[in-house]
């Protein structure tokens, strides 16, 4: 099983503690040590599951925009963006049980990356895109401008980004992740024909969110 980049930094210390508990349980007949062993073993299993990074089948074709995250579409709303103009925002909520690796929705060049510290309110609440910790990536191609915004939630305490200003990115490419429950907003020009709706489950790099007319 492929583990997400940065995942081993969290998994390996827990693995070492679990291994230490095994050694201690051999020399000390303690119910406390046995209980700690099972606790860290279960935690290790959850972390391996959480940081999984499965391969995805990226759709082919011109003008296709894919989901940047796994999860459920919680909102679709119109707005005005200084970067995209008249736009629509697709908000995707990721639970603890979703794959948390984020993928590029459309090929292009990263025009800018803006990290902003902030609060850690529940990611499903309206307005948290303005208050919570976030990382915003602006992507431009010859025919399209779009924004991907990683938003931290209650449990999420770290947003990871693998791309920087000036990088050329490809549809379906891994560009980062948010650790432990969060939200990703995809902002598209209103001329894009949406293929998803509220309540729909999506997969990063695989589900077609929209198409350019």
Tell me if 175 sits within 8 A of 103, measured CB to CB.
yes
**CA angle, corner 116, sides to 170 and 135, nearest 5?**
20
CA dist 83 and 208 (Å) reads 22
Is 182 one of the catalytic residues? yes
CA dist 126 and 75 (Å) reads 9
Contacts of 127 (CB under 8 A, 6+ apart): none
- Choosing from 107, 134, 182, 190, the catalytic residue is 182
User: Per the structure block, which two tokens stand in for 129?
Assistant: 């895109």
CA atoms within 13 A on the CB side of 51: 18
Give the count of beta carbons closer than 10 Å to the beta carbon of residue 52. Answer: 15
Tokens 């598209």 found at: 188
DSSP-derived letter for residue 80 is E
Give the count of beta carbons closer than 10 Å to the beta carbon of residue 165. Answer: 12
CA dist 7 and 193 (Å) reads 35
Provide the annotated active-site residues: 182
């Amino acid at each position: 099983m492929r583990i997400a980049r940065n995942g081993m930094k969290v998994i390996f210390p827990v693995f070492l503690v679990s291994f230490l508990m095994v050694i201690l349980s051999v020399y000390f007949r303690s119910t406390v040590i046995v209980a700690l062993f099972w606790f860290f073993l279960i935690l290790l299993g959850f972390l391996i599951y959480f940081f999984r990074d499965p391969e995805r089948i990226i759709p082919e074709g011109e003008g296709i925009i894919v989901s940047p995250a796994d999860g459920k579409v919680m909102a679709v709303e119109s707005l005005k963006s200084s970067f995209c103009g008249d736009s629509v925002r697709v908000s995707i909520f990721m639970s603890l049980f979703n794959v948390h690796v984020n993928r590029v929705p459309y090929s292009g060049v990263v025009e800018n990356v803006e990290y902003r510290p902030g609060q850690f309110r529940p990611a499903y609440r309206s307005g948290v895109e303005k208050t919570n910790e976030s990382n915003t990536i602006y992507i431009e191609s010859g025919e399209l401008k779009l924004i991907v915004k990683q938003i931290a939630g209650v449990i999420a305490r770290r947003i990871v980004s693998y791309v920087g200003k000036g990088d050329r990115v490809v549809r379906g490419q891994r560009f980062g992740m948010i650790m432990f429950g969060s939200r990703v907003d995809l902002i598209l020009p209103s001329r894009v024909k949406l293929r998803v709706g509220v309540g729909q489950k999506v997969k990063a790099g695989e589900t077609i969110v929209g198409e350019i007319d």
